[in-house]
Amino acid sequence: MYGYLGIDVGSVSTNLVMMGEDGAVKHSIYLRTRGKPIEAVQAGLKMMKSALPSKIQVAGVGTTGSGRHLAGVITGADIIKNEITTHAIAASNVVPGVQTILEIGGQDSKIIILRNGVVADFAMNTVCAAGTGSFLDQQAFRLNIGIEEFGPLALQARVPVRIAGRCAVFAESDMIHKQQMGYNVEDILAGLCEALVRNYLNNVGKGKEILGPVVFQGGVAANAGMKRAFEKALETEVIIPPYFNVMGALGAALLAREATSRKKTDFYGFEVAEKDFKAGGFACDGCPNICEVVEITESDRVIARWGDRCGRWSDVLEQKEKIS
């Protein structure tokens, strides 16, 4: 039995997916990255190995997310792909004919527009917190609401409160104000969802033509209040795929299947989880660019470097991983 492994390393979460030859998800893992991507990948690999039947053989590995190069280097990935492409591939596999992908994660969000099955346009937000999941987390925390209760409560709202949510800071003070005015918590939560949706559509979705089918994915899609807020704003049905929070990893696995159709995998095996990798770095003083060079070592042997603008450090390595 063959399987394809997809690994998505983001700043907030690290996700792994094992996909069968038929494209079905066999197992998925969602971990916090906690600023230590190597450890997260290794922990994920261990969990994956123990969850799978021993006869499964990894036939291909793909990595994605902001830590895709790192994950690619340590696992021996067959393909390293940006997160826009992997999300688009996964969504169009799960929902054929999808024309719009709304993706909201903890620290970033994106919109991908597809037409005739290919990406036609996209936009990303990596700066403004008011358009990402951390906005909801913060406010839920302030209201003493667990993030799991958030969605169900928001669904009970009757008249969502209008919250000025242009910016996370204003939203917070406005929310406190509304609370003091005696609005009930359900209506406030629903109002927060609507504020986030407004922000998202105004920033990330600016100028994009949103046509159905619309898929909503990323960690925030777990929140039923958000789904409803999107449906209300877009006046159309919003589909949440079964593996909504690991779609990047699923896309990477799909690409790995394609990349290994005519070659053997470069995967180093699950033993990677036991190896001693370290990510270090130094500031080069070769010229006034003072590049922050990232260096990955395996048992004190340098296996990859990047971040140097001139190639002074990355080019000397035999086995180099180019950031294109």
Partner 1 sequence: MTVKVGIPRALLYYYFYPQWLSFFQHLDVEPVVSHRTTRGLLEKGLRSTVDEACLPVKLAVGHVLDLKDRVDYLFLPRLVSMARREYICPKFLGFPDMVRNTIDHLPPVIDINLDLYHKRSNAYNFFQTLGKMFTKNPARIYLAYRASCQAHGNYCKELESGALPGELKTLANSNGKNGGMADITIAVIGHPYNIYDRFISMDMIKRLFESGVNVVTADHLADSVIRQEAGKLPKQLFWTLNQRMIGAAYHYFNDPEIHGLIHVASFGCGPDSMTGELIERFARSRSTKPLLVLTLDEHTGEAGIVTRLEAFLDMVRWRRNLADVAATL
Footprint of ligand SF4 (CB under 6 A): 284, 286-287, 289-291, 308-310, 312-313
Give the residue among 298, 131, 305, 120 at the shortest CA–CA distance from 226: 131
Residue 22 CB partners (closer than 8 Å, separation 6+) = none
CB of 282 to ligand SF4, least distance (A): 10
Q: Characterize 222-234 residue by residue with b for buried, 16 or more Cβ atoms within 10 angstroms of its Cβ, and e for exposed.
A: bbbbbbbbbeebb
Beta carbon nearer to partner 1, 92 or 223 = 92
Instruction: Measure the CA angle with vertex 63, ends 58 and 67; round to 5°.
Output: 140
If contact means CB under 5 to 8 A according to the sort of partner, which of ligand SF4, partner 1, none does residue 286 touch?
Answer: ligand SF4
d(CA 324, CA 315): 14
d(CA 7, CA 17): 7
CB of 311 to ligand SF4, least distance (A): 7
Which residues in this chain contact partner 1 in the complex, by CB under 8 A? 66, 81-85, 116-122, 124, 126, 207, 287-291, 309, 322-324
If contact means CB under 5 to 8 A according to the sort of partner, which of partner 1, ligand SF4, none does residue 126 touch?
Answer: partner 1
If contact means CB under 5 to 8 A according to the sort of partner, which of partner 1, ligand SF4, none does residue 116 touch?
Answer: partner 1
Give the residue among 85, 15, 41 at the shortest CA–CA distance from 243: 15
If contact means CB under 5 to 8 A according to the sort of partner, which of ligand SF4, partner 1, none does residue 124 touch?
Answer: partner 1
d(CA 31, CA 40): 7
Beta carbon nearer to partner 1, 51 or 310 = 310
CB of 120 to ligand SF4, least distance (A): 29
Beta carbon nearer to partner 1, 45 or 88 = 88
